Amino acid sequence: MNRNPSRSERGYDRLAGWYWLLEQPVFRRDLQRAREACLVDLPPMKRILMLGDGDGRLLQKVLMTQPQAKVVSVEQSSEMIALQKRRAASVDASHRVEWIQGDAITVPLQTGSFDCLVAAFFLDCFTEVELSHCLPGWLSCVANDGFFYHVDFVIPENGWRRMRAKFWSWIMHRFFRWQTGLQSASVVPVEPLLDSKVWAERSRRELNHGFIRSVLYQRRSSQLC
């Protein structure tokens, strides 16, 4: 197929092999701890949608902790998908994953067809305008009583933690703008985009002095439009 990879796709292709290493100097194991933090709170599932899972470290854990689940992984970068495939094979679970290489914004996904949507350090690839446009569509893929597992950076409300988070967020956004053409200039709060009449928070963990948050939301019954 004759495709013109986007700047973002080319950037993540370049970064894929040493993506894990980028996190080590500042976060050590905290990003991976955050990715895995609420997995224990998920009940057994049949169908899971993962968006922008990158090099597959979370996918591997999901496959291990959800032995009955089939996973659809939507990821734009072929190099990241290659790493995901290696990690799924290492736990003998490749047959449970369907990979879709493409832009999550345009990939068609069926409404209400997943027990859980997983987005770890993925929503921060988008601006507030893009998110307010795309997030409702992604969330609509979650069935009634299903879950949305969101892991991301947050800027704490005040004090030195806020200063520290703003400093590292500024560095990261500049780095990813340079490497992948990232448009957003700062962390976009996702909670205001979630309707509390539809989504109930079930568990939450905070790491790295409040800079990283893992939250598990559940769709309240009969809220799927």
Ligand X SMILES: C[S@@+](CC[C@H](N)C(=O)[O-])C[C@H]1O[C@@H](n2cnc3c(N)ncnc32)[C@H](O)[C@@H]1O
Q: Summarize as ranges the residues that interact with ligand X (CB under 6 A).
A: 8, 12, 35, 52-54, 58, 74-77, 80, 103-105, 120-122, 125
| Residue 86 or 200 with smaller CB distance to ligand X | 86
Quote helix, strand, coil % in the chain, to nearest 5.
45, 25, 35
Give the shortest CB-196-to-ligand X separation in angstroms: 25
Long-range pairs, 82-86, Cβ under 8 A, ≥24: 82/16, 83/16, 83/17, 83/54, 83/55, 83/56, 84/53, 84/54, 84/55, 84/56, 84/59, 85/56, 86/56
| Residue 12 or 99 with smaller CB distance to ligand X | 12
Give the shortest CB-95-to-ligand X separation in angstroms: 22
| Residue 49 or 58 with smaller CB distance to ligand X | 58
Q: How far apart are CA 13 and CA 16, in angstroms?
A: 5
| Residue 71 or 74 with smaller CB distance to ligand X | 74
Give the shortest CB-223-to-ligand X separation in angstroms: 26
Give the shortest CB-87-to-ligand X separation in angstroms: 12
| Residue 94 or 127 with smaller CB distance to ligand X | 127
Q: How far is CA 21 from CA 28, 29, 31, 181, in A?
A: 9, 10, 11, 20
Q: Apex CA 27: angle with CA 173 and CA 10, to 5°?
A: 45
Give the shortest CB-145-to-ligand X separation in angstroms: 25
Give the shortest CB-105-to-ligand X separation in angstroms: 5
**Residue type, position 22, single letter:** L
| Residue 54 or 146 with smaller CB distance to ligand X | 54
Question: By three-state DSSP, how is residue 214 classified?
Answer: strand
Tell me which H or E stretch contains 149: strand 142-153
Radius of gyration of the chain (CA): 17
Give the shortest CB-221-to-ligand X separation in angstroms: 29
Q: How far apart are CA 53 and CA 76, in angstroms?
A: 10
| Residue 93 or 118 with smaller CB distance to ligand X | 118
